[in-house]
Amino acid sequence: MQDQGPGPSLTELHDPAAPVPAETPSPAEIDPIDRLNRALQRISFALDKSRQAEQRKNVDTQELVANVDVLISRVRDALAHADRPEDK
């Protein structure tokens, strides 16, 4: 609601000559098809956000597994190098 201007002032509320501001219609006055369409759009948006978050989580997990594999390989190489008799 940030794009809306400030509400009517006190003088505008009590001035009978002031024009009556247009009010948003109640949910009962809105077309049921429009309400259903908006609800479906909100559901679709929420599902898309959830899928995107899950995909990011999977990518992070795959990257972490790859990094752990590289670390294990380096540790094995270091241990194999340390066990050689010519290094002692």
- Report the SS3 class of residue 71: helix
> Element (H or E) spanning 8, and its range?
none
Give CA–CA dist 5/86, Å, rounded: 81
Residue spans of the domains in the chain: they are 26-87
Helix then strand then coil, in percent of the chain rounded to 5, is 65, 0, 35
Query: What is the DSSP code (8-state) at residue 9?
Result: -
- What's the average model confidence in pLDDT over 47-56? 90
List own/partner pairs for 61-69 with CB under 8 A and 24 or more apart.
none
Model-level pTM?
A: 0.39
Which tens digits make up the pLDDT trace of 13-48? 555 555 555 677 676 677 899 999 999 999 999 999
